[in-house]
Structure 1
Amino acid sequence: MSPARAVAIAVVFVWLGMVLAISFLEAPLKFRAPNVTLQIGLGIGRLVFRALNAVEVVLAVVILLATIARPPPAVVAAALAVAFAMLALQIGAVRPRLTRRSDQVLAGLDAPRSRGHYVYIGLEAIKVLALAAAGILLLST
């Protein structure tokens, strides 16, 4: 296995672990903590997901650079492309709408419940499956 392939595998699994830990563990649990109001939870969530998405972009670039010299098989490239596309949709399409709603809630307005969170979670689930597939397939090539 080449060093670049080893880096790609490691980064894919680090990315997968971060998404699982933050999106599917930290995010829902923070609202169950004592004295965490909707406003505090939204404030924390905005910071955490902005940081997560920034790190995800860096990890995606590292994976891309690690696979340029020796492109992976098409099925791996497809799985990675799905993960990259889900991240792009989350950052470019869903997060701006969620930010507008959280701005309203943080300003004290009674904003209607957003379906954007469900879209974000759906994209996150697809990204998790794509990263898991890419990592497993990279290990087997």
Structure 2
Amino acid sequence: MTAAHAVSIAVTFTWLGMVFAISFLEAPLKFRAPGVTVRLGLGIGRLVFRALNVTEMVWAALLVAGLLIEGPPVRVAVAGATAVAVLVVQLVGVRPRLTRRSDRVLAGEDVPRSHAHYVYIGLEVVKVVALLATGVLLLGV
């Protein structure tokens, strides 16, 4: 196993674990904690997701570099590229809408629930599947 291959595996499963922990555990649970209002939860969520997304960009860059160096089978490259593409769509297409809505909520406006939130969650599921597939396929190469 090359160093690039080992790094690609480590990055993939670390990224997967972070998405699971934050998107599917921390994000929904914080709103159930005693005393956490929607405004407070959104403020916390914005900080946490900003940090997650910055970290995800680093993981994505490392994964792309590792895959370019090792030249994996097409199925591995497609799975990895899918995870990276989903991240880009989330950051460029969905996060700005969510940020605009949370800005309004934090300013005290009463705004309806955003459909962009559901799109983001759906994309998180696709990203998790893509990362899991990437990691499993890398283990088999």
Sequence identity, in percent? 64
Q: Distance in 2 between matches of 1:99 and 1:11?
A: 27
- 1:50-69 → structure 2 map (5 Å cutoff): 50-69=50-69
Deviation, 1:70, is 1.7
Q: Distance in 2 between matches of 1:91 and 1:114?
A: 16
Q: Between Structure 1 and Structure 2, how many residues are aligned? A: 141
Which ranges of 4 or more aligned residues in structure 1 deviate by more than 4 Å?
none
Deviation, 1:111, is 1.0
SS of alignment partner, residue 112 of structure 1: coil
Give TM-score scaled by structure 1 length: 0.98
For structure 2, the residue ranges without an aligned partner over 5 or more in a row are none
Give TM-score scaled by structure 2 length: 0.98
Q: Aligned residue for 2:49?
A: 49
Deviation, 1:92, is 0.2
Q: Is structure 2 residue 131 aligned with structure 1 residue 131?
A: yes
Deviation, 1:118, is 0.5
Q: Aligned residue for 1:12?
A: 12
Select between 66-75 and 79-88 the one with higher mean Cα deviation: 66-75
SS of alignment partner, residue 45 of structure 2: helix
For structure 1, the residue ranges without an aligned partner over 5 or more in a row are none
Q: Aligned residue for 1:116?
A: 116
Select between 39-48 and 58-67 the one with higher mean Cα deviation: 58-67
Q: Distance in 1 between matches of 2:112 and 2:20?
A: 28
C-alpha RMSD of the superposition: 0.6
Deviation, 1:121, is 0.3
Deviation, 1:45, is 0.5
Q: Distance in 1 between matches of 2:49 and 2:70?
A: 32
Deviation, 1:103, is 0.5
SS of alignment partner, residue 70 of structure 2: coil
Q: Distance in 1 between matches of 2:48 and 2:69?
A: 33
